[in-house]
Chains A and B, each alone.
Chain A
Amino acid sequence: MTVDAAKPARRFSATTESGLALAIVVVLAVTALVDSNHSYWFRPQACATDIVRQTVMLGIFALGSAVVIISGGIDLSTGSMIAFSGTICATVMMVVDPAAMNTGQVGTATIVVAIAAALAVGLLVGSLHAWLITVVGLPAFVATLATLVGLRSLARAIVENVTAEFLGGRSTQIQIFDREFRYLGRTVWISAMLFILLAVLIGILMRYTVVGRHLYALGGNEQAARLSGIHTDRLKWLAYCLSAACASLAGVLAIGEQSVADPQTLGRGYELNAIAAAVVGGCSLQGGVGTVPGTVLGCLFLRAVIDGIAKIIKTGADVHEGWIVGIVVVMAVAFSQWRASGQRGKQFFTGALGSLAIVTLGLIAGTLVTLMADWRAGSATAAVTWVVLICAKIWENRVAVGQRAQGASGEATT
C-alpha cells in the first residue's frame, strides 16, 4: 500500500475562510460598481452601519446554531426562540412595573431582571431540547421542530393575555417606550461589541478547550466519542443551551431595535438563515466540521449579498432575502462538496432528471429577471439559460464518453 503525502496543515489560502473573505470583497466591489445610486461611494458610513447591524443580528444566533451543527445536531427553533425570549423580556417588564412600561420610564433594575429572565428562559428551552434528545430519545430535528412551532404560538398567547390584563385591551404586540432599553437595541456598537465578544468566547471554546474538541469529536462520530469516555449527553446539553441562549440574546436586542415585541413577526424564518450562514461558513450538517471564524464570515457574506441585491434592484431586502439565501446556500455547499470530493468529471445534468433540472433552472432565472426588469428580458434570460445548460449537458456527455474511450484504448495499447 502506498500512502500519499498527507494534506498539509490547513494553509490559510486553501480554507473556506479565505474563500469567503475573497467572496465578500468581490460582492462589495460588484455592488459598489453596479448600484446606480452609488450608495457605497456616497454614504459609506450609513451603508456599513446597515450591513454591520444586519450581520450582528444574524451572527449572534448563527454562532449558537453553528455550535449545535458542529456537534452533529440541528436547532430549528432559533427563530421562535428569538420571538419567545423577546416576548418574555417585554412581559417581565410589563408585569414588574406596568405603569413605568406605559410611560417609558422603566428602571434599570427592571430591565436587568427582564433580560436575565429572557436568558434564563433560553437556558431552560435549551435544557428541554437536550432532555428530549438524550433522554426521551427524539431526533434533534423533531425535538426542535416541536419548539419551533410551539414557542411562537405560546409567545402570542402570552402577549394577548398580558396586554388584556395590564393594558385593558387585547393586543398582538407589546410596545416598548423606554429610551434606555431602546438605546440598548438601536446602538450598533453595543450589539456589535456583544457579537464580537461572543464570537471570541465561542471561538476560544471551540478551538482552545477540551470541551470544544469533544464537541467536534461528538459531531464527527458520536459512538466513538462515547466509547472514548466522553460524556456526550452533557455536551449536547451545552450545545443546545448555548444555541438557545444566543437566540435569547438576539431576541432581547431585536425588541430593543424594533421598540416592540411582536411574536407574530419577530425572528420568523431566522432559524434557516442561521443554519444557512453556518453552512456557507463551512459547517457540515453531518457534524464534526466547521469553525467560528467561518461562521462569522458566512453571516457577513450572506448579508453582503442580500444588501447588494437590494441596493442594485432598489426594493426592500426582506422580500428577496429568501431566494437569495436559498441560491447562496445551494451554490456554496455544492461548490465545497465538489471541491472536497476532487471529482473533476462530475456530470450534473445526466438523464431525465438532469433535463428536468435544466427546465426548472431556466424558469427560475427567467422569473427572477422578469420580476426585476420586464418580461422580455425574463424570456430572453430563460432562453439563454436553457441554451447554455443544454450545451453543458451535451459537453458533459461527450467528455464522459471520451474518457471511457480513452481509458479503453489506452489499456489496449499497453
Chain B
Amino acid sequence: MELEYQFLLPLIIISVSSVAAVAFDAIWKNKNLNFSFSIFALLATLIAAAYTLTASNEAIDAIKAMALSDLISKHQIHFGGYSAYFDILFCLAGLLTIVAAKPFIKREYEEYNEFYSLILFSICGMMLISHSSSLLVLFIGIELMSIPFYVLAGFFRKSIFSVEASLKYFFLGAFATGFLLYGMAMLYGATGTLDIKEIGIIISQGEAIPIYLTLGIGLMLVGLSFKAAAFPFHQWAPDVYSGSPTVVSAFFATAGKAAAIVGFVIIAKEIIQFDVKSFQIADTARTAQLIIAFISAATMLIGNLTALVQKNVKRMLAYSSVAHAGYLLMGIVASNELGYTGIIFYISAYMFMQMGAFVIVSVFERNGNEKMSFDDYSGLYKSHPILSALMSIFMLSLAGIPPFAGFFGKYYLFLAAIKADFLWLTIVAVISSIISMYYYIGLILQMYFKEQTHGRLKSKVGMAKYTLLITAAAVIIFGIFPSLIVDLTYNFF
C-alpha cells in the first residue's frame, strides 16, 4: 500500500496541485503567487517522478504481484520505466513553457491566472497517458490533455487567429476522439476487457473476435494519427500551431506531440504486436505495420515539402513539427529496442530544440501575428547576435546536423528502421531530411547573410532567457553525450 503511494506520488502531486491552483486563484487574485506555485508544483512532481525512475525493478514487480483489493490503482496504472521518464519530460516542458510564457502573455495580452492551472491540468493528462495500462485511463488521459489544449489555443480571446485555432482544434480533436473511442469499443468487443495487457494476451492467444479486432485497430490508428498530427490527418496542426499564442504552440508541438506518440507506442506495442507469431493476428499486424510505415513516410515528406514554401517562420516551424512526427513513427514501425530507444531520445531532443525555436519566435513577435516572416529575420545577427546564434543551434539540431542532439535521434531511428528491414523508409527519411535542411539552413542564411530590410526587430526576452539557455544547453549536451539518455532509457519499453 505505502509502496504504491510512493509510485503514485507524481500523479497525486500534479492533480492535487492543479486543483489547488484553481482554488488559490479564486481566493487570492495574485498573479505571481499562481506562477510560483505552478513552478513549485512542477518541480515537486519532477522530483517525485525522478525518485520513481530510480526505484528498483523489484519494487515495481512487488506492486504488480499485489492483490487487486490492496491497490488503489487496480493495475490500471503503469509504474516506473518509461512512464517515469516521460513524467520528467512533461514536467520539464511545462516548466520551460511557463517561464517563457510569463513575459509573453503579459506583453501581448492580459495575464490570466487560469493559464498556469490549464498547463498543470494538461500535464496531468499527459502523465496519465504515459502511465496508462487500461484503455479507460488512456482515454481519460487523452481528454484531460486535450480539453485544456482547446482552451489554451483560444487563450487570446480577442484575437481572431487564436479563436479560430481553438475552434478548429476543438472540432478536429473531438472528431478524432470519436474515432479513438469507437476503436476502443471495438477492441473491448473483440476481447471483453479494457486492460491493455490482457487485450494483448487474448490477441496473441488468438481468442479475439477477428472482425472487431481489425476494425478496432484501424479506428484507433485513425484516432491516434489525428492526435499525433500524422498524414493524412495532419492538416489541423499547422493551422492550430500558427494560430495559437506562440508559447502555447511551443507546448502543443512538443509536450502534446510527445504524449500522443507515447499513446501510439503503447497501443502499437501491446495491442498491434508486430512481432507476434500467432496465426490469427499476424496478417493484420503486418498490414498495420505497413500502413504505419506509409503514414510515417508520407508525414515526413508532406511536412517538409510544405514547410519549404512557407514565408512565415512560425508556420514553417508548425509544418516541421508535422515532419518530425513522421520520423518518430519510424521507431514504432521498427518496433525493436533500438527503435523505442530512438523514439525516447528523439522526443527528448525534439522537445528542447522545437521549444527553443518557438520561444525565439515569441520573443520577436508583436501584436499577435506580426514580425515573424522570413524577411523580418534578415540580418538579425547584427542587432541580436546571441539570439541568432541560439536560433542557429536549434535550426541545425532540427535539421539533424552533428554535433547537436537532433542528429543522434535521427541516427538511432534510421538505424532501427534498417534493422527492421524497412530500408525504403530510411531512404525516404534521408531524402526528406535533406529537403528539410534547405529551409532550416535557409533561415540561418537569412539571419547572417542578408541585409536588414525592414528595420530592426525589437526583442523583449525577459524570463524567456532561462528557457532559451536551458534548451540550448540540453541540445548541445545531449548531442555530445547521447549516452546520458540512451543508457538510462534502454529497455524501457
**Is this pair of chains taken from one and the same complex?**
no
Binding site for B on A (CB under 8 A): none
